[in-house]
Amino acid sequence: MSNPVPAHQVLARRNLGDRIFFLALRAVSIGTIALFIGMLIFIGKLAWTSVEAQGFRFWVGDDWNPPMDIFGAAPFIVGTLASSLIAVLISAPISVGTALFLREIAPRKLANVVAFLVELLAAIPSVVYGLWGVFVLAPIMRDTIQPFLAKWLGPDTYFAAALGHGMTAVAYPFLLVADTLGLTEVTLVSLSANMMAVSQGLFDGPPLGLGLLTSGLVLSIMITPTVTALSREVLLTVPDTVREAALGLGATRWEMIKLALMKTARAGLVGSIILGLGRAIGETMAVTMVIGNRNEIPKSLFEPAQTMASVIANEYNEADGMHLSSLAFVGLSLFAVSLIINFLARTLIRYLNRGSRA
C-alpha cells in the first residue's frame, strides 16, 4: 500500500507535465516558422544576382535564352496560370458535383465506397499520372479530342467568333476608362482585333497530344480527389437541421441543395477549390512530363508550354551562374504566386462568410 500523494504535489507534477508539453509545442511551432524563413532566405540569396540584374522585367520578358543570358519568365507564369486554370475549370464542377452526389443522392454505403475510391486517386504518385498522360491520354488527345475541339471551337467557328466578341464586350468598359484617362492608344477596333486573334487561336494548330491542354487535363484529374474530399467534408458540416428546414418548407431536393447546402457551405466550397488550385500551381512531375516543355508563351491550348515548376525541374541540372540564379528567381516567383492566390482566396472566403458570421 502506498501513501497517498498530497494533492498539491500531484498538481505540481501535473503542472510540470503541462509546462514541458507547452515548451515542446512552442519549440515545434517556432521551428516550423524558422524553417520557412530559412528556406526563403536561402532561395532569396540564390536568386539575388538575377533579381538585381533583371528586376521587374523578369516577369514581363517573354524571352528565356540562357546562352545569351536573357531571362524572361512570362512564358512560365502564363503556363502555370493557364494550366492551373484549365485544371480548376474542369475539376471544380466535377468535384463539387461528386461531393453533392455523395452527400445527397448516393445511399450511404455506396457513398462510402465511392468516397474511398476517390480518395485513393490522391494516393497515386504524380509520376504515374505523368506516365499515364504521356502514353494513354496524349495519343487520345492527338487523335480524337484535339481534332474534335479544333473542328467545333477552332478558328472560323461560331464559338471562336462569339468568344472574341464576348471578351471584347467584357474588356470594353476598361478600355473606355483607360481612354478617358488618356492611358492607352488602343481603339475599339484594335481591341476587338486582338481579342478575336486570341479566341481564334485558342484551339488552333497541329494536334500534338502533349501541350497546355493535356497538362491541364492531367492536373484536373490530379486535383479532383482533393477537391472532392474537401467539398464532401464541407457539405457534411452543414447540419441536418438546416437541410430539414428547407425540405420542411417545401423545397425540392435541388432547391434544398441550393438553399441549405450550397449557400451554407459556399465559403468552404470555394476554399476547397482554391486548395485544389494551389496544388495544381505547384505540381511539377506530371506537368513536366506532358506539357511539352517549350519556353514560349503559348497562343493555342494545343501548343507545348512550360510552367514555373517544370522549367526548374527541366533546367536546374545544367544551370549555373545567372541561369541558376534566374531559376531560383522563378522559384521565388512561384512562391509569390501561391501566396497571392492564397491571400485572394482568404479575402474571397471572408467576403462570402460575411452573411453567416454571428
Partner 1 sequence: MTEAIQKTVQPIGVATAALETKRLSAWFGDLHVVKDISLTVEKNDVFSLIGPSGCGKSTFIRCLNRLHEETDGARVRGEVLIPGAGKRENIYAQGVDPVSIRRRVGMVFQKPNPFPGLSIFDNVAAGLKLAGVVRRNVLEEIVEISLVQAALWDEVKDKLKKPGTSLSGGQQQRLCIARALAVRPQVLLMDEPTSALDPISTARIEELVMKLRSDVTVLIVTHNMQQAARISNQTAFFLMGELVEVGPTKSIFTKPKDSRTEQYITGRFG
Site for partner 1, rule CB under 8 A? 107-108, 239, 241-242, 244-252, 255, 259-260, 263-264, 266, 355-358
Residue 237 CB, nearest approach to partner 1 (Å): 11
Comparing CB distances to partner 1, the nearer of 241 and 317 is 241
What is the rounded CA–CA span in Å between residue 94 and residue 88? Answer: 10
Comparing CB distances to partner 1, the nearer of 63 and 244 is 244
Comparing CB distances to partner 1, the nearer of 263 and 299 is 263
Residue 100 CB, nearest approach to partner 1 (Å): 16
Are 250 and 144 in contact by the 8 Å Cβ rule? The answer is: no
Residue 353 CB, nearest approach to partner 1 (Å): 9
Taking the CB of residue 349, how many other CB atoms lie within 10 A of it?
17
Are 137 and 290 in contact by the 8 Å Cβ rule? The answer is: yes
What is the rounded CA–CA span in Å between residue 114 and residue 68? Answer: 53
Beta bridge partners of 71: 64
Comparing CB distances to partner 1, the nearer of 131 and 247 is 247
Comparing CB distances to partner 1, the nearer of 8 and 109 is 109
CB half-sphere exposure, 186, CA atoms < 13 A: 19
Check residue 181 and report its DSSP letter: T
Start-to-end CA span in the chain (Å) = 56
Collapsing DSSP to helix, strand or coil, 305 comes out as: strand
- Quick one: which of 233, 219, 227, 221 has its CA closest to 96? 227
Comparing CB distances to partner 1, the nearer of 134 and 238 is 238
Residue 267 CB, nearest approach to partner 1 (Å): 9
What is the rounded CA–CA span in Å between residue 316 and residue 331? Answer: 11
Residue 95 CB, nearest approach to partner 1 (Å): 20
Residue 271 CB, nearest approach to partner 1 (Å): 15
